[in-house]
Chain A
């Protein structure tokens, strides 16, 4: 897990993770979760494969918005509200 110096995103390399959970121990907001089946960390990665994170794109009340570093506010408006079925291993 490392912070991208350019955009501030916390990135996570699953191939390097050994599931030691040190990140769980030190996350002051308690947002990191253990995926006990894969023994890896499950964390928000802002959906790198999508333009807008799924949670923002699918929030029916536009309560979740994405604030970009440029001060742009992105909401679910005009987003494709297709909910993908989560794949559970």
Chain B
């Protein structure tokens, strides 16, 4: 039986954020991180750069290899937690080992969705959320020429770019009428779609893969309209869902993700959660929902860590926000990107190949999309995050020369004056 004061399940942004925050408050308490992935923490979004052969594993490490030793972390990597008991405060690993903990963080992340499809068990069908996925794909590419990517969302576009850079002929099959339909509005999606097509990626929309064909290995996919596309591999990139099974089996309250309060505590005492597995505060919606983004996991992890170590911290919340630059097109999107009804105001600017849009409700920014020139998006994002009343300068938000100077003097002075 291993005894540890702090047990963190998950070795990605959330788990590391928590470990760093715990150590800032408690330099001595025993700290254990368990993860089913056998690697030191790496930048998950960078697995596409790894697959593209642009970055090595050393390049995408999120912390130095010495991190665990430096922070006094007992890292049990490549181990699965099979069972949790929140009243006895124990966890059981797949190798039979038991861990007794005092404070627990569930930072398990998400798990890729693979819909029921005939042939999905064939050799050559992949998902793309982990380093091992990138490694498996990398090995498979030596005799592959054509790929079908199911799903035109963020993961689908990122893996498409990597495959394209490796000389693979890529076809994206998207169920809705446009790619990136969750994080972008229509004009921005069309721009992204044009860029991908110009690069040579084939995009099929309003369609789904019915069946993956071949003997042992993938040879083709058949779409619902009976169109067949020959291919050597398939990447299923439909999305991820919170990996909640361990928590729900242990009786912890779960909706779509593990429910947490602003302290990141779950329904079980001394049990915390953060990141893609959780359903935490979103400042645009002013409610809790799954927001699977890296910075949210890290900030939530820090909040949890401070509270686990006896400090006091409240999660400020994040919102869906993404910065993309696949196929050479820079895109930023955050918050609500399509106005839900007439009560929202919309400002757009489309010029010189750029597209900018801000969505406002009751004089407060609720969302934004920038394509091309994204340099001022940070100011808009800051105004949204700080819930600033923009009524007196909202007409200027998308001006080319927009800057802090357009804000009322008291406001820009305050923003520039915040000393560290």
In-complex Cβ contact of A28 among B321, B323, B375, B379 (8 A): B379
Contacts of A25 in B (CB 8 A): 321, 323, 332, 334, 374, 377-378, 381
From 389 to 409 in chain B, residues with beta carbon under 8 angstroms from any chain A beta carbon are 403-404
From 330 to 344 in chain B, residues with beta carbon under 8 angstroms from any chain A beta carbon are 330, 332, 334
Contacts of B379 in A (CB 8 A): 27-30
The answer, yes or no, to whether B117 is at the interface (CB within 8 Å) is: no
In-complex Cβ contact of A29 among B323, B377, B415 (8 A): B415
From 1 to 53 in chain A, residues with beta carbon under 8 angstroms from any chain B beta carbon are 3, 8, 16, 18-30, 32-34
Pair A18/B55 contact, Cβ less than 8 Å: yes
Within the complex, what minimum Cβ distance (angstroms) separates A6 from chain B? 11
Pair B378/A26 contact, Cβ less than 8 Å: yes
Pair B416/A28 contact, Cβ less than 8 Å: no
Within the complex, what minimum Cβ distance (angstroms) separates B391 from chain A? 19
Contacts of B403 in A (CB 8 A): 30
Pair B334/A30 contact, Cβ less than 8 Å: no
Pair A28/B378 contact, Cβ less than 8 Å: yes
Pair A21/B420 contact, Cβ less than 8 Å: no
Q: How large is the interface on B (under 10, 10 to 19, 20 to 34, 35 or more residues)?
A: 20 to 34
How far apart sit A23 and B49, CA to CA, in the bound complex (Å)? 18
In-complex Cβ contact of B325 among A21, A30, A32, A33 (8 A): A21
Within the complex, what minimum Cβ distance (angstroms) separates A25 from chain B? 4
Pair A22/B404 contact, Cβ less than 8 Å: no
In-complex Cβ contact of A20 among B45, B375, B385 (8 A): B45
The answer, yes or no, to whether B295 is at the interface (CB within 8 Å) is: yes
Pair A18/B332 contact, Cβ less than 8 Å: no
How far apart sit A33 and B330, CA to CA, in the bound complex (Å)? 13
Pair A34/B375 contact, Cβ less than 8 Å: yes
Known A25-B374, A30-B375, A30-B404; contact A20-B332, beta-carbon cutoff 8 A: no
Contacts of A27 in B (CB 8 A): 378-379, 382
Instruction: Give the 8 A-B residue pairs with the shortest CB-CB distance, closest first.
Output: A28-B382, A27-B378, A8-B420, A30-B379, A25-B323, A21-B323, A22-B323, A25-B332
Query: What are 25 A-B contacts defined by CB distance under 8 Å?
Result: A3-B420, A8-B420, A20-B323, A21-B323, A22-B323, A24-B374, A25-B332, A25-B374, A25-B381, A26-B295, A26-B378, A27-B378, A27-B382, A28-B378, A28-B382, A28-B385, A28-B415, A29-B415, A29-B416, A30-B376, A30-B379, A30-B403, A32-B375, A34-B330, A34-B374
Residues of A near any B CB (own CB < 8 A): 3, 8, 16, 18-30, 32-34
| Extra pairs beyond A25-B321, A28-B386, A34-B374 (7, CB < 8 Å) | A25-B378, A25-B381, A26-B381, A28-B382, A29-B415, A30-B375, A30-B379
Residues of B near any A CB (own CB < 8 A): 45-46, 49, 55, 59, 295, 321, 323-325, 330, 332, 334, 374-379, 381-383, 385-386, 403-404, 415-416, 420
